[in-house]
Structure 1
Amino acid sequence: MLTLTLNKSLRRMFALLVLCMGLGLVTSPVYAADEQSSQQQAKSKTSDADLWRAVKAGEPGYSTDKGLDADVLINVAGNEGKVLRNTYLKPALGLAVVGVFAAFLVFYLVNGPSKLSKGFSGKMVLRWSKSDLWLHWIMAISCLTMMLTGIVIMLGRHFLAPYVGDGIWAGIIAFSKFAHDWSSPIFMVSWLLCVIKWMPLQTFKMYDLKWFLVVGGYINFGPFKGKHPDSGFANAGEKMWFWTLAIFGLSISITGIMLVFPTLDLPRELSMLALLVHGLSATILIAFTIVHIWMATVLSEGGMECMVSGYCDENWASQHHNVWYDEIKADGSLKYKE
């Protein structure tokens, strides 16, 4: 009887041991699978984070498209250039348009125009040839077209688009882009001819320094009133305008070609640099153009006539460009309008 009871107890213990071993064999793979899955998920999350960190940093990947920069999803230079354009370049352009114009308007209202001290003589002296006039106006019209359309392209979404319908804005921006692109070749050709033709007249002389010191004789009050500094064919202000146009006109032409022709297939970094240099050059030229227009028209009595007929009043010539006037009188090249 004791033996029988002992045998039953042993059999039960053996069965319990086998059951425990079986459960261990079954659950061990499950636990191992769970642990492996958890490790894979953690690794996947880390891998995704590293991937997007690399993408945002502009690191190249792999693409079947073999075009330039096709394997880069996010271009860092492009994003940084956009920030610079929106943060600095756009406000600078707005300041150039509004600020410079407003400053000269206030100056005109306070100071008035620069009057001819001896009045108009009625004798008209030849100053510009017909070819000079044609070159000037072709360049001026194409340049102003590019400036106005460029302002719309860069700033129009802020001061124009919110106040017109989407359809009208789409038409305006499309026309601005078309006019901007097609007026640029006319500007570049006329700009080059003007620079070549007028450069000999634009060298700075020592008397140009005095022109700046007395603000060209345009101030009608205080110690500067009645001061008419010496000036050759071009005064110091006109020479500054010429060299600004020469330098930044070249910059605008080169960067414009880089931006307009997609077949050049430039790197994104170079394209963004060209866009920023183009915008900066345009901003400087726009500011100087506003100054040039003010100085040549309302601030200078009799000045506009020069670029309309090519002739200027003799008293205007002797007051504003006395060195040139004395030279053409001395060498006999002075010609009056018949």
Structure 2
Amino acid sequence: MLLKSLRSLFTVLLLPLVLAMGLGLTTSAYAVDEQTSQQMANTSDAELWRAVKSGDKGYTTAKGAEGGVMINVSAIEGTNVKNDYLTPVMALAVCGVFGAFLIFYLVNGPSKLSHGFSGKMVLRWSKADLWIHWVMALSCLALIFTGLNIMLGKHVLQPYVGTGIWGSLIYGSKTIHDYAGPLFIVAWAICVVKWMPLQTFKLYDLKWFLVVGGYINFGPFKGKHPDSGFANAGEKMWFWTLTLFGLFIAVSGIMLVMPALELPREASMAALLVHGLSAIIIIAFTIVHIWMATVLSEGGMECMKSGYCDENWAVQHHNLWYDEIKDNGTLTYRD
């Protein structure tokens, strides 16, 4: 009887221990399985995000170019190039070129007419030429100022104006930029076709560069007025720069504002970089052109205001052209 009671007591004490051990083993097994699953999940996530960051293509129901690519590596690299290089170079081009010509003007002064104004005005540009020039010039200036705000405004203006004002400025700049673009392209194309025959380089253009066009008012270059045809060497350089990089700007701009093209992001980023680099070159040459046409050349601005230039200005700055129209009988004076 006592022995039977002891066996019953032992069974009662052993049963909870066995249950506890079983539960512990089961829990441990579940823990091990969960840890293994978590490790596998973490490994899978790491591989997934590694693939995403490297630009691998996945599956998506979205339609369009590169819809399955979550992160475009080349686009990120292109953005870094724009922010780290193009933006500061653009600021340097604006401030550097403008500052250099301001210093030159303060030291050298304008290029005066050696014999003063004659009072006789010679026809140089037709009414059609003036329209082409000013449509292209005004649309180009609109593109330059709005483009500068888009590229540099966040560094120059945004910190000093309210959010609402900045939002209006950037939206307005983008809108004007998009609408001025086609106007510029049309005027640029007409300009290139119409004026190209006058822009071929000649051997005498080399001397123009060697004496800086006769604009220097001191030293051995003073009073040196090199030969020049209808367009001098500086104007020819500006024309061909505008022709080449205007083409780059036009094509890249169309790529950027035409979503129907559905271009890959690499192509869009390449277009953005080409657009920005071409704009920097055009801006620098535009600043030079404005300086030369206004304050640095006495009597030069009148050409694009009325289409006529003073006869002494024609003789001094474009002597070969003046001699040509005088000899062939096409010299026309304003009444």
Please classify the TM superposition score into its range, dividing by the shorter chain length: over 0.9
1:74-85 paired onto structure 2 within 5 Å: 74-85=71-82
1:66 to 63, 83, 92: 63
**Which string of whole-angstrom CA distances, capped at 9 and with x for unpartnered residues, describes residues 290-333 of structure 1?**
00000111000110011111111111111111111111111111
**Which string of whole-angstrom CA distances, capped at 9 and with x for unpartnered residues, describes residues 58-111 of structure 1?**
112221212222212111122111111110111111111111101100000000
The Cα shift of 1:15 comes to: 11
Does structure 1 residue 257 correspond to structure 2 residue 275?
no
The Cα shift of 1:30 comes to: 3.4
1:172 to 166, 169, 182: 169
The Cα shift of 1:158 comes to: 1.2
Identity of aligned residues (%): 65
**Which string of whole-angstrom CA distances, capped at 9 and with x for unpartnered residues, describes residues 191-235 of structure 1?**
110100000000000111111111111111111111111111000
The Cα shift of 1:18 comes to: 9.5
1:51-200 paired onto structure 2 within 5 Å: 51-200=48-197
CA distance in 2, matches of 1:172, 1:10: 93
1:258-277 paired onto structure 2 within 5 Å: 258-277=255-274
* Alignment partner, residue 315 of structure 2: 318
The Cα shift of 1:44 comes to: 1.6
What SS is found at the alignment partner of 2:289?
helix
The Cα shift of 1:45 comes to: 1.6
What SS is found at the alignment partner of 1:312?
strand
227-236 or 24-33, which deviates more:
24-33
Does structure 1 residue 217 correspond to structure 2 residue 214?
yes
The Cα shift of 1:32 comes to: 2.8
Pick closer, same or farther for the CA change 1:293–1:25 going to 2, 3 Å.
Answer: same
CA distance in 2, matches of 1:38, 1:10: 41
320-329 or 284-293, which deviates more:
320-329
What SS is found at the alignment partner of 1:125?
strand
The Cα shift of 1:28 comes to: 3.9
**Which string of whole-angstrom CA distances, capped at 9 and with x for unpartnered residues, describes residues 3-57 of structure 1?**
x999999999999999988776554443333222222222222221221111111
1:220-299 paired onto structure 2 within 5 Å: 220-299=217-296
Q: List alignment gaps of at least 5 residues for structure 2.
A: none
Give the counterpart letter for 2:133 in structure 1: H
The Cα shift of 1:171 comes to: 1.4
CA distance in 1, matches of 2:8, 2:144: 102
What is the aligned length? 335
The Cα shift of 1:179 comes to: 1.1
CA distance in 1, matches of 2:207, 2:304: 26
Does structure 1 residue 307 correspond to structure 2 residue 334?
no
Q: TM-score with structure 2 length normalisation?
A: 0.93
* Aligned-residue CA RMSD (Å): 2.3
112-121 or 4-13, which deviates more:
4-13
CA distance in 2, matches of 1:141, 1:251: 19
Q: List alignment gaps of at least 5 residues for structure 1.
A: none
CA distance in 2, matches of 1:122, 1:273: 53
CA distance in 2, matches of 1:14, 1:168: 85
CA distance in 1, matches of 2:246, 2:189: 9
* Alignment partner, residue 201 of structure 1: 198
24-33 or 191-200, which deviates more:
24-33
Q: TM-score with structure 1 length normalisation?
A: 0.92
CA distance in 2, matches of 1:212, 1:90: 31
CA distance in 1, matches of 2:68, 2:195: 49
**Which string of whole-angstrom CA distances, capped at 9 and with x for unpartnered residues, describes residues 213-259 of structure 1?**
11111111111111111111000000000001111111111111111
What SS is found at the alignment partner of 1:128?
coil
CA distance in 2, matches of 1:132, 1:291: 21
The Cα shift of 1:134 comes to: 0.8
